[in-house]
């Protein structure tokens, strides 16, 4: 399509559309034809599609299990993947019977070291990658509960591998707790994590272990759905 056509369809000024086109062209997502007047999609979009497909498949496979977990716990359920230094939420489902309490949305980026889904993934990250992530991103402190010590974080990650679940105990946001567990694919890699989230009145010291077992059970069921076997090459619990 030409600039004038795009501006008309998008109902935007030509100057704004021109800036957008230049940005997309520079990024390799669009290219101009030989006549230099019309824009066509470029090959970089195929790489984006290839990156997105595993996430789509994962959500489709996990959705029934996450719905069941939400109904069983009556808490908000998340699923996230690790991208560079952040975890990104790719699925969220919450009960309609209670007021919305968690300020999360699909695509939200969060620090890995202070979230349930993030710590569940960091626990299975190779040491060299973990060290690089900490060096590049640091351990930002959100509040006095946030783990800001590399030594303490590594100790926590060892405990997560031992018990099979992680806990965000008001480390990201005061007043909220999350319980997370990793998802493994058929190669034994931790490719995502799930969690339940609620207030400190919903997830208490008394019921935390019961909730954790439900999260682990759901994560194990999803992992098996993806072809994971505990007899495989990984060290998942």
Residue 58, in any domain of the structure: yes
- Cβ proximity of 138 and 200 under 8 Å: no
pLDDT reported for residue 44: 75
The backbone torsions φ and ψ at residue 196, rounded to the nearest 5 degrees and listed phi first, read -110, 145
Only one residue has tokens 């919903």, namely: 202
24 lies in the same domain as 70? no
Q: The CATH number of the domain where 147 resides is what?
A: 3.30.450.40
230: left (phi over 0), alpha (psi -120 to 50) or beta: alpha
pLDDT reported for residue 234: 42
pLDDT reported for residue 219: 98
Residue 198, in any domain of the structure: yes
Each residue's pLDDT tens digit in the chain (237 positions)? Answer: 999 999 999 999 999 999 999 999 988 889 998 888 899 988 777 666 655 655 778 888 999 999 999 999 999 999 999 987 889 999 999 998 776 666 788 888 899 999 999 999 999 999 999 999 999 999 999 999 999 999 999 999 999 999 999 999 999 999 999 999 999 999 999 999 999 999 999 999 999 999 999 999 999 999 999 999 864 444 444
Query: CB burial class (10 A; 0-12, 13-18, 19+) of residue 178?
Result: buried
Residue 90, in any domain of the structure: yes
**Number of structural domains, the chain?**
2
38 lies in the same domain as 57? no
Residue 231, in any domain of the structure: no
For residue 163, the tally of other CB atoms under 10 A from its CB is 13
Residue 62, in any domain of the structure: yes
75 lies in the same domain as 112? yes
221 lies in the same domain as 166? yes
Residue 63, in any domain of the structure: yes
Strand 39-41 versus strand 76-83 pairing type: unpaired
Token duo for residue 204: 């208490």
Question: What domain range includes position 182?
Answer: 53-225
Residue 117, in any domain of the structure: yes
Residue 47, in any domain of the structure: no
35 lies in the same domain as 129? no
112 lies in the same domain as 159? yes
126 lies in the same domain as 217? yes
For residue 168, the tally of other CB atoms under 10 A from its CB is 27
9 lies in the same domain as 110? no
């Amino acid at each position: 399509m030409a600039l004038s056509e795009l501006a008309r369809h998008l109902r935007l000024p030509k100057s704004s559309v021109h800036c957008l086109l230049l940005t997309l062209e520079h990024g390799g997502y669009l290219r101009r034809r030989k006549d230099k007047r019309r824009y066509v999609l470029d090959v970089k979009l195929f790489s984006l599609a290839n990156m997105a497909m595993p996430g789509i498949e994962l959500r489709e496979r996990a959705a029934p299990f996450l719905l069941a977990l939400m109904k069983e716990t009556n808490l908000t359920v998340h699923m996230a993947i690790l991208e560079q230094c952040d975890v990104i939420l790719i699925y969220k489902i919450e009960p309609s019977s209670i007021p919305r309490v968690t300020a999360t949305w699909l695509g939200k980026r969060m620090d890995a070291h202070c979230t349930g889904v993030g710590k569940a993934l960091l626990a299975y990250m190779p040491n060299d990658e973990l060290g690089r992530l900490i060096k590049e991103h640091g351990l930002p402190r959100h509040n006095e509960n946030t783990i800001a010590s590399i030594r303490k974080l590594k100790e926590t990650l060892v405990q997560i591998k031992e018990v099979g679940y992680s806990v965000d105990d008001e480390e990201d946001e005061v007043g909220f707790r999350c319980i997370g567990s990793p998802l493994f694919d058929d190669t034994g890699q931790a490719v995502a994590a799930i969690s339940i989230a609620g207030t400190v009145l919903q997830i208490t010291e008394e019921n935390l272990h019961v909730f954790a077992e439900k999260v682990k059970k759901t994560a194990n069921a999803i992992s098996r759905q993806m072809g994971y076997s505990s007899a495989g090459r990984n060290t998942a619990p």
